[in-house]
Structure formats: structure tokens, C-alpha cells
Amino acid sequence: MPRERATSDFLKSYAHTHTHAHTHTHTHTHENSNASRLTQHTYTMKLVRFLMKLSNETVTVELKNGTVVHGTVAGVDVAMNMHMKTVKMSIKGREATALDTLTVRGNTIRHVILPDSLPLDTLLIDDTPKIKAKKKEVALGRGRGRGRGRGRGRGRGRGRR
């Protein structure tokens, strides 16, 4: 029965999206001098960022070659490599093997089966701080500026002799 739970609407949406992202919509009002206006922001959470939040959760990972790994997530890196502890690994056609630790390469993962008790609503909130692009400073006056190009007369040959 836990396998049916793993194919919930949430996981189906991940399986059917090409971007591997979950969208969360947030609406709030901005106060202006004249009137308040309603704006809507849409945040996407990448699958890797979601998996990174699964530390200390016990999951089952199915690999593309048919191997099934059951264990506790120690951590997930940006390449989706899963570092696991207290692992039971069942290679297709062989007996299960118990391991203390195991790292699963991210691009070999086919499915991650989550426990029923996992609070998906709280985990799907993207709380990573957004990095805002710095605005370029407006150049005042006729300064030389930075970078290439040093004004008139540079690089125009050696002159007459």
C-alpha cells in the first residue's frame, strides 16, 4: 500500500512535468499612495531543493537499473546525489544487502518513494532566500569609467616619424 501513496497527485505532477519543478503561488497587497493593488507572485521549487529537505527521513529509492534502496537520507546535494545511512539495498536478481552508508548518484534515480507521514504541505514551501540582482550605479559626470576603452588617442597606431 505505501507504493500507491507514493503515486499521489503531488508525485504525479513531478513525473509529468519536464522542468521538475513545483509551483507555489503567493498573493499579497502593496500599499501605494493612491490605492492598494493586488499582485501575485509565483515561485517554483526545484525537485532537488525539495529532496534536500528530506534529511533524516526514511525513503525508498528505485534506480533506473531496477535496484531498490531503502534507508535514511543523510543529505542530498545539488546534483541530486543522495547520501544515505542504515541502508538495505536490493539489486535486481540478487539478495538484499545491508550497508551502513551509501551514496546514490543523482542521475541514476528513477523514483523516490516517500513515507505516508511526510508533511508535504510544509516541505513544499520554498523558504530559500532569493538573491536580488544589484542595480547598476548611474554614472555621474564624465568619468573614465571601468573596463576597456581608455578614451581618445589610445590604440591608434604609433604616429608619424
Residue bearing the bigger pLDDT, 131 or 90: 90
Mean pLDDT of the chain: 74
Q: What CATH topology corresponds to 49-113?
A: SH3 type barrels. (2.30.30)
Question: pLDDT by residue (tens digit) across 91-149?
Answer: 988 999 999 999 999 999 999 999 999 888 888 887 777 777 776 666 555 656 666 66
For 14-81, give the secondary structure using H, E and C.
HHHCCCCEEEEEEEEEEECCCCEEEEEEEEEEEHHHHHHCCCCCEEEEEECCCCEEEEEEEEECCCCC
The distance from CA 51 to its chain's CA centroid, rounded to whole angstroms, is 8
Q: Do 38 and 31 contact (CB within 8 A), yes or no?
A: no
The distance from CA 93 to its chain's CA centroid, rounded to whole angstroms, is 34
One-letter amino acid at 67 equals: T
Most confident option among 6-10, 25-29, 102-106: 102-106
pLDDT at 32 over 80: no
Return the minimum-mean-pLDDT range out of 18-22, 28-32, 71-75, 83-87: 18-22
Rounded (5°) CA angle 57-59-62:
155
The distance from CA 45 to its chain's CA centroid, rounded to whole angstroms, is 6
Q: In the structure, what pLDDT confidence band is assigned to residue 19 with cuts at 50, 70 and 90?
A: very low
Q: Domain map of the chain by residue range?
A: 49-113
Q: In the structure, what pLDDT confidence band is assigned to residue 21 with cuts at 50, 70 and 90?
A: very low
Q: Do 123 and 67 contact (CB within 8 A), yes or no?
A: no
Residue bearing the bigger pLDDT, 145 or 45: 45
Q: Do 84 and 23 contact (CB within 8 A), yes or no?
A: no
Provide the whole-model pTM.
0.55
What's the pLDDT at 28?
47
Question: pLDDT by residue (tens digit) across 53-68?
Answer: 999 999 999 999 999 9
